[in-house]
Structure 1
Amino acid sequence: MEDTVIPYELPDVENHSFFFIDQRVKINIEAKLHQHDAWELYYVVHGQGNRMAGDTLQPFAAGDVALIPPSMLHRWEYAPNSADDDGCIRYLMVAFSHSLVERCIEVFPELRNRLAGITFPTDALKFGPESSRIIREILSEMNDMDELGRLSEMMRLLPIIFTTSDHTFAGKPMRIERDVRRMQQICTYVMAHYVHAISLDDIATEVGMNRSAFCSYFKRCKGMTFSQFVTQYRLNTACELLKHSRKQVSEICYTVGFNDVPHFNRIFKKIKHISPKEYRNNHSDQII
């Protein structure tokens, strides 16, 4: 079944220039696939899972910070076993219109000097370690401030999120509605079945295409084969487990859908240019 895109309106913020929330909710209450006419800056405080942003599916974990452009389809799907003892996940999120940015640039020369000549991203972004640390600190401080204090912190946030080079790609918009629905359907299927073998015939049937047409379609949309996409997703999921769990490499291998540990090690090193054990050692401070 395809995910249904939910028309989503941010809560009314009358007499406020942007929306800020510290959200702690049950997993089943968190928004499904949706879009809204605002920038979304999202900090995962507790929980982990998979994020769909535009045409891209990526795992996320506590501590991650991402920026979703206006009108981009997106969804944060939390894993049930990542909730706290009350079955809740938590995130801090600020949403703001692009007109707010334009008005601030027009009114405040100090901000205009920082943002002069920049090209605003059309892709979703995941911020790197240093930028994430700064953004997490600002959002956490905003949580304890009154409205005027939060507005002041927004002036600090805007140049950081729009000028830092410390980020990676997290998704690009898809302009054709049919392709959006189909790619989201493919991503949902991979999320549900990546632990097991996924045949081309199975995924092609899932989206109502023959095998040959599906292969051509997927390569055109994603710039890679479906097999490469599944491998990439499995390895990204493995990286999150290496960083955030104490599972053995062999257990992680089978958890993410590989059925042979030496093969997993070879593929991991070929794609990531480092072995799984070396990757874990480099990120050992993130294991809780």
Structure 2
Amino acid sequence: MRPRLEHLSTPADASFRCFVRSDRAFAFEWHYHHDYELTLITRGVGKRFVGDHTASFAAPDLVLIGPDLPHTWLVPAQAGAMQRAIVLQFAPAFFERFAGMPEFAAVRELFARARRGLAFTGTTRTRAGKALQAITRARPAQRLPLALAVLIDLAASDEDNVHELAGPAVDPVSDPAGERRIDQVFRFLSEHARDRISQATVARQAGMTPGAFSRFFKRTTGKTFVAYIQELRIAHACERLIASDDAITDICFASGFANLSNFNRCFRRLKGVSPRAFRDQFRHTGS
């Protein structure tokens, strides 16, 4: 199965992405992206796939993934429980800001090793887990030093607590021509997903007919255009439900939905719970 490219965009007010993923189950979504990703599964039992590596795991599970390395977690639904993960994503430009500093020599080596995927165990995982939980509760201005401290700690980890995942024969995925076109589309959608946009409008941005664009988008992402837009809007709504006390109606319209009933129906279909239950459950966990 060919992995799909996932386009990631860093928020305008931050130097990296930090979010909590909470769903009834984590489906098998074989994908890759150009960013480094640190994932801590805090609730869930399932299988981890990184390159040619496959292994069973139970939370907590801490993994650092390098750019263009295919990966996914498969976590089945469990009655009465939401699966949960904390995710940090760093664009290569983030790393380049610090790469030349002598203090970051160990982090530079860590990121180089991450191109095959690294799993952390033992006391390293325990310390990082507590720090990542703190990052999710911190104000935006406090997150950067906390994230850098996590990376420095991982780089200094005892080798017994660091495990390479993918084999040396695994090559990063590359499709420059297709990636340039879909990157252009993703950039446009990340800026306008909450606006009223049509597939024909985005097709023109990509220099394609609506029919050709529809086939290209489904082949590249594995999703229809409408489904992808809904996921972007629900993801924005989840961030606001977690990070603010805004009224659900306000979040609905700010996320690009035209009416509350459609928002609630779409949210429940993608997240398995209502927006209010999602907010309550997140706060109940102390996150």
Cα displacement string for residues 156-188 of structure 1 (whole angstroms, at most 9, x for unaligned residues):
0121223422211222362287xxxxxxxxxxx
| Secondary structure at 1:27 match in 2 | coil
**CA gap 1:117/1:131 in 2 versus in 1, 3 angstroms:** closer
Paired AA for residue 53 in structure 1: V
Counterpart pick for 1:18 among 16, 35, 40: 16
RMSD: 2.6
How far, CA to CA, are the matches of 2:84 and 2:16 in structure 1? 20
Alignment-derived partner of residue 67 in structure 1: 64
Deviation at 1:118, TM superposition (A): 6.6
Q: Is the 8 A contact 2:35 2:67 kept in 1?
A: yes
Deviation at 1:31, TM superposition (A): 6.2
Q: Does 1:96 align with 2:90?
A: yes
> Which sits farther off after the overlay, 129-138 or 153-162?
153-162
How far, CA to CA, are the matches of 1:5 and 1:137 in structure 2? 32
Identity of aligned residues (%): 19
Cα displacement string for residues 184-236 of structure 1 (whole angstroms, at most 9, x for unaligned residues):
xxxxxxxxxxxxxxxxxxxxxxxxxxxxxxxxxxxxxxxxxxxxxxxxxxxxx
How far, CA to CA, are the matches of 1:94 and 1:116 in structure 2? 17
Alignment-derived partner of residue 167 in structure 1: 162
Alignment-derived partner of residue 49 in structure 2: 52
Deviation at 1:60, TM superposition (A): 1.4
Q: Is the 8 A contact 2:41 2:84 kept in 1?
A: yes
**TM-score normalized by structure 1?**
0.53
Deviation at 1:16, TM superposition (A): 1.4
Cα displacement string for residues 122-181 of structure 1 (whole angstroms, at most 9, x for unaligned residues):
32111021110111011000011011111110120121223422211222362287xxxx
Deviation at 1:102, TM superposition (A): 2.3
How far, CA to CA, are the matches of 1:13 and 1:93 in structure 2? 14
| Secondary structure at 1:120 match in 2 | helix
Paired AA for residue 174 in structure 1: V
Alignment-derived partner of residue 132 in structure 2: 139
Q: Does 1:9 align with 2:2?
A: no
Q: Is the 8 A contact 1:120 1:162 kept in 2?
A: no
How far, CA to CA, are the matches of 1:115 and 1:65 in structure 2? 17
Counterpart pick for 1:120 among 109, 112, 121: 112
Name which one, 1 or 2, has greater alpha-carbon Rg.
1
Alignment-derived partner of residue 79 in structure 1: 76
**CA gap 1:14/1:168 in 2 versus in 1, 3 angstroms:** same
| Secondary structure at 1:102 match in 2 | helix
Paired AA for residue 74 in structure 1: H
| Secondary structure at 1:16 match in 2 | coil
